[in-house]
Structures are given as structure tokens and as C-alpha cells.
A and B are shown apart, each in its own frame.
Chain A
Amino acid sequence: MSNNKPLGQALREQGVSRRGFLKFCATTASLMALPPSMVPAIAKALESARRPSVIWLSFQECTGCTESLTRSHAPTLEGLIFDNISLDYHHTLQAASGDAAEAAREAAMEENKGNYLLVVDGSIPLGNPGYSTIAGISNLEMLKEVAEHAAAIIAVGTCAAYGGLPHANPNPTGAVSVEEIIKDKPIVNVPGCPPIPVVITGVLAHFLTFGKLPELDHLGRPLAFYGNNIHDRCYRRPFYDKGLFANTFDDEGARKGWCLFKLGCKGPVTYNACATIKWNDGTSFPIEAGHGCLGCSEPNFWDMGGFYNALSESTMNLSRTAAVGIAVGAAAGTASGLLNRRKKSKAEAAHETVSVKDLQREDKS
């Protein structure tokens, strides 16, 4: 199934010229967000790289991540990335189904034991194994089985990386991320709803080129793509600093392209490559289209307190809380004040006039 020729040789056999290979290396470097000066090193590494076997498991997901990947404008997905990785199991894309598909997965696992790459999209339900199954096997069971002999795991999409939409409050299926189940394997999180296509292929390309996983941030994301803050890289940032904001989606500020912070933009807490790589062949990204960032590459982005509420606002109804506080405080304060007054008037009432006579009488007794 996976022919194990070095990539350079495989490409030449496909009739790809050295020029084509150089172009491939240059765009791969760009894809991995590596500086162009790395191209010779990448060319050298790719020349002898062997294509890894990839098993792709889809759990509680919407197939949006696969949609994103198949539209990636990497050196054409089918043409190169899939030629250069051996996608041995992907139940949405593969022709085989049922027993044949599961047999393919088991064969790939056996053949490449300890060396295959596991890609997961979708979260795993822990509430009831029956919530999501493939060929009668629960997601949890299949993940554990395939992960056991995987070289590394790539969690594609926010669902696989952090639980995503299924994990959103109240999380009816008890959905969790891959890293909450698998603790003993290197895991790369490639979050996003969906992730930027070239980011998915970029991570695959990194593994293909260097045979190891890229450097990660504190949430397990590759720093090359998730190292920068949307807010810091946003071309609308100068408007934030000047205090120029759009207050509605159709006011003067919105038309002039001012900052969308007040309209709920989560850019300040979102780390992703949207502001530089952009979407649809580098055409645009949500903020450029006039809508705030939803923060889709961050954990719990569905529960961030409303897409259209500013980041500095509470995720709960603060006014109601304040009203309760005021009501209770007013009652308690009044009660305490009245109690103090009663004490005071009691003390006043208990006050007796003392005369010299009284004191003398006391002396005698």
C-alpha cells in the first residue's frame, strides 16, 4: 500500500523536474512558515524523506475540517500532499467502506506499526459510547486502539484539539479532546473551525520533511502558525489604539473599517495565522470582511460569552448580578442600620440619671 521510496526519487519518477522540486520546496517552506533561507535544507530533507502512512479518524465532527483540507491550495492536495503521504484510512474520502475499510485500517496499522501518523478530527463522547460509532466500534475504543502504535497524533480542528462545538455548554455527549484521552503520545493541536487549509498541510509537510513534529505553544499548537496574536497582526489595530471603533455593523466606523472590538471581536485572545496567511487563496479573512474574530482556534470559543459581546464584558448577565447585589445589600444594610439604631435607643432608654444621693447609697450597701 505505502510504497516506501524516498520522496525525491518518487517525484522524479512522476516526471517532476528538478525545477518543479525546487518550487515545491519553496512553497513548502512558505507553507511551514519557515524563512526562505531554509529552502536548501528542506530540499535536502525532502529528497530523502519517505512518505508516512496516515490514518485519519473522524469522530464527532461536521466534516468541515476535511472540506477545508481538500480545498487547500498546497501544491494541489491530490497531486502532491496525498501522493507524498499515504492516506491509508479516511472513511469520508476513501472508496472502500464497511469491513473493507476497517481491514485497510488494520492492515496499515500492522504494516507501519509505530511509524504511522494518526490524524483525528472531531471530539470523542465519553457520556455514552453509543453516541458515535464507526463500524460498531466506539470512538473512544478506536482512538485508543489506533493511537497505541502511532508515531504521533495530529488533532485537526477545534473539536479534536479542545472539544469544540460538541464540548460547548452543556456538553450533552460528554465530548472531550484527544489530549484528554491519550497521554503518552506526542500530540499536535491544529485548532480552528476549520483550521486554515495550509496550516493542516503545513503541519503534515513538517512531519514529512523533518520526520518530527514542529515546536508547540502552551496549548499544543505549532508556534509557526499560532505564535501570533490576531489582534497584534490585524491591519485594523491602529484604529484600536486611536480609539476608533465600529459600534454597529452599519455605522460610519464599520464603513471606514475601524476596529471591531466593541462588536465582539475576540482577536486579542486568539492565536492563529488568519491575519497573515488569510483564507481562500490569501484573499481575505473574517476581520477584513467586516466581522469580528470568533476566536475559533481557542478552547471553549463557543462559550466565550456571545460572539457579539466585547471581550471585556462578562460572560454572564452582570446587570442582573448587580441588581441582586443591590437588593440584598440594601436589605442587609437597612437591617444592620436599624439594629444599630435599636441598640442606640435601647442604650438611651436604659440611661439612668445618677445623683450624688445614689452614689452615697451604693457606698453604704
Chain B
Amino acid sequence: MNSAEFLLWVRGPGLNIALVIFTIGMLIRLLEIFMLGRKQNLAELRANGVSAGLRTIFTRSTPADKNSMRRSMFTFVAGYGFHIGLFVVIFLLTPHIQLIQSLLGFGWPALPTPVVDLFTVIALISLMALLWRRLTHPVVRYLSTPQDYLVWAATFLPLLTGYMSYHHLWFPYSWLLGVHILSVEFLLILFPFTKLTHAFTLFISRWYTGMMAGEKGVAS
């Protein structure tokens, strides 16, 4: 198999297989959660929980209070650096938007490539720092399961191979691009079956938490 045949496979059958597994897996996951149902709330509502639920989805993305932020400054900076970097790279790079547009039928403006490049570096450094912490911090290390390392690698690889393809590092571009797409397919397939699902479920649980607290008339 040469680089062109490989690229052809990952852009065609590979991507389609990954997308099917991803959509089916995620839909089963989400529908199971939604259909689980909750116990009927017999208490009188103090307020409408909808606005509180919506608010919590966003407020939980900002640091809770200065104290806990200061205590875990490292996780805070690396965590934000990684997540913001990843978001920019996935959704604001022209070729990625082009792919999304071919899938959904609409797109949005991109950022200049050198800017996205900067965010890639931020995300890569943050991820490496987080791994270093996982390996050196005794408590975090004790709590880590093989899945944590697997998911770390599955997230790191697309970023790394994407960075390498853009800068034409060490290998022919066609191979790098193929490996990059393949690593994304690997990520997509792992997605529904690992803690990566938090990218979706996070918002559901925030909504529930915020809504229930709101209905009880307390701040979440």
C-alpha cells in the first residue's frame, strides 16, 4: 500500500466506518440517559429550573472561586489551555470547517492558519504537562486507570500528527495526512465507549444539576 492508497482509504471507507460507529454509539449512549427518567418531583417548585439549568451549563466553565483556583493553578491553566486549544483547532481551521461543511451543509469563517498553529502548540504543551502530572502526582497516579492513558493518547495523536503534517516534519506529507485522519478515526471510534463522552454528557449533567437546584430555589 502506498501513501495515496492509504490516504484514499482513510478519507473514504475509514472515515465512514468511524463516523457510523461514532453516531450510533453516541446516540445509544445519549438516548439511554434521556430515557432513564427521573423520579417524579412531588415538592412544590420554588422557581422555574430552566433558566438556572441553562445558566449552569455556562457558569461551570468559569473558575468557581479564587481559592480553589489558586490551589489547583496547574490543572486550571493546563486544563483550559488544552480545551480551548482543542476547540480552536477542531472548529476554526479551514480544512476542518470544509469537512464539517461537506457533512452538514453549512460552515463558518476560519482563523488564519498561523493562529490555529499557535493554539495547537498550546494544546500539545498542556496535554504533555497534564500527562506529566498524572505520572508524577502520587494521588492522581493512583487514581489513573489504563483508560485514562488510552484516552490521553487518542487525543494527543490527532493534534501531534496534525501539527506534523502542517509543518511537514520528518515524513512525506501524504503519509502524515493519512495518519492524522486515521488517528481522528481512532478517536471517533473510542469516543462513545470511554470517558471522552463527557464532551456531550457534561452539558446534560450540568443542566440537571442547575435545573434541580433552581427548582429548589438554591444557587447551583
CA of A300 to CA of B25, assembled, Å: 33
By a beta-carbon cutoff of 8 Å, the part of chain B in contact with chain A is 2-5, 7-8, 11-13, 15-16, 19-32, 34-37, 94-96, 98-99, 102-105, 109-114, 168, 172-175, 177
Chain B, Cβ-Cβ closest to A329: B27
CA of A338 to CA of B114, assembled, Å: 49
CA of A329 to CA of B112, assembled, Å: 36
Interface centre among B19, B31, B32, B168 (most CB of A within 10 A): B31
Chain A residues near B27 (CB, 8 Å)? 325-326, 329-330, 332-333
**5 chain-A/chain-B pairs, Cβ below 8 angstroms:** A217-B172, A219-B3, A240-B113, A315-B11, A322-B103
- Which chain A residues (326-354) contact chain B, with CB distance < 8 Å? 326, 328-330, 332-334, 336-338, 340-341, 344
**A337 and B102 form a contact (CB under 8 A):** no
Q: Does residue A150 face the partner (Cβ distance < 8 Å to B)?
A: no
**A319 and B28 form a contact (CB under 8 A):** no
**A316 and B16 form a contact (CB under 8 A):** yes
**B11 and A219 form a contact (CB under 8 A):** no
Shortest distance in angstroms between A133's beta carbon and chain B's nearest beta carbon?
29
**A232 and B168 form a contact (CB under 8 A):** yes
Shortest distance in angstroms between A294's beta carbon and chain B's nearest beta carbon?
13
Interface centre among B15, B94, B173 (most CB of A within 10 A): B94
**B3 and A326 form a contact (CB under 8 A):** no
Whether A337 touches B35, Cβ cut-off 8 Å, given contacts A300-B5, A321-B20, is: yes
**A305 and B12 form a contact (CB under 8 A):** yes
Chain A residues near B8 (CB, 8 Å)? 300, 303-305, 315
Q: Is the interface of B mostly helix, strand, loop or mixed?
A: helix
**A241 and B20 form a contact (CB under 8 A):** no
Task: Pick the interface stretch among A73-81, A198-206, A261-269.
Answer: A261-269
Chain A residues near B25 (CB, 8 Å)? 329
Whether A336 touches B31, Cβ cut-off 8 Å, given contacts A218-B172, A299-B2, A341-B37, is: yes
Chain B, Cβ-Cβ closest to A299: B4
Q: How many residues of A contact B (CB 8 A)?
A: 50
Q: Does residue A314 face the partner (Cβ distance < 8 Å to B)?
A: yes
Per-position contact with B for A73-115: 1 when CB-CB < 8 Å, else 0?
0000000000000000000000000000000000000000000
CA of A269 to CA of B168, assembled, Å: 11
Given contacts A261-B94, A318-B15, 5 further A-B contacts (CB under 8 A): A229-B173, A312-B96, A316-B16, A325-B21, A326-B27
CA of A243 to CA of B29, assembled, Å: 37
Q: Does residue A357 face the partner (Cβ distance < 8 Å to B)?
A: no
CA of A328 to CA of B168, assembled, Å: 39
- Which chain A residues (257-298) contact chain B, with CB distance < 8 Å? 261-262, 268-269, 271, 298
Whether A312 touches B12, Cβ cut-off 8 Å, given contacts A243-B110, A300-B5, A322-B103, is: no
Shortest distance in angstroms between B75's beta carbon and chain A's nearest beta carbon?
33
**A341 and B35 form a contact (CB under 8 A):** yes
Shortest distance in angstroms between B60's beta carbon and chain A's nearest beta carbon?
26
Q: Does residue A254 face the partner (Cβ distance < 8 Å to B)?
A: no
Chain B residues near A303 (CB, 8 Å)? 8
**B35 and A316 form a contact (CB under 8 A):** no
**A305 and B11 form a contact (CB under 8 A):** yes
Partner of A318, one of B3, B30, B95, B102: B102
**B23 and A322 form a contact (CB under 8 A):** yes
**B177 and A268 form a contact (CB under 8 A):** yes
Q: Does residue A311 face the partner (Cβ distance < 8 Å to B)?
A: yes
Chain A, Cβ-Cβ closest to B114: A241
Shortest distance in angstroms between A60's beta carbon and chain B's nearest beta carbon?
19
- Which chain A residues (220-238) contact chain B, with CB distance < 8 Å? 229, 232
**A336 and B102 form a contact (CB under 8 A):** no
Q: Does residue A313 face the partner (Cβ distance < 8 Å to B)?
A: yes
Whether A319 touches B103, Cβ cut-off 8 Å, given contacts A243-B94, A261-B95, A326-B27, is: yes
Chain A residues near B15 (CB, 8 Å)? 314, 316, 318
Whether A340 touches B32, Cβ cut-off 8 Å, given contacts A299-B2, A316-B16, is: yes
Whether A219 touches B102, Cβ cut-off 8 Å, given contacts A232-B168, A310-B95, is: no
